[in-house]
Amino acid sequence: MADYEIPPDLLQKRVDFVAAQKRLSALGRVMPSAAAVAALEAEPATEEQREAWLTLQGECRRLAVEIQEHPYWREVDDPKAARKALEDAVVNSE
């Protein structure tokens, strides 16, 4: 496998994406499920929770598009290997 030099801005976008996913997941664990609300077993999510959820979802979508459309992917000979290198770089940056 060739060595891939990941552009710093792409690496940062991926790190930010992973962090946003973790925050979204954490929020999802504390928000009531729709099933629990429908069964009257829980109160609906607060407006603050809904706004935070939508904001994080939007951040994840934006970053996913920016990562996917980054010009780097058009320059590499093996995009699959380059994506693996990006994931490895994210893990090593933690």
13 within 8 A of 64, measured Cβ to Cβ: no
pLDDT for 2 equals: 62
Containing 42, the helix (H) or strand (E) segment is none
pLDDT of the chain along its 94 residues, tens only? Answer: 468 999 999 999 999 999 999 999 999 999 999 899 999 999 999 999 999 999 999 999 999 999 999 999 999 999 999 999 999 999 988 7
Kindly state the tokens that stand for 4. Answer: 């891939």
* The pLDDT of residue 3: 85
Residue whose tokens read 């290997």: 81
Please enumerate in sequence order all residues whose Cβ is within 8 A of that of 87, keeping only pairs 6 or more positions apart, or say none. 14
* pTM check: above 0.75: yes
How many CB atoms lie under 10 A from the CB of residue 2?
10
Distance (Å, whole) CA 37 – CA 10: 40
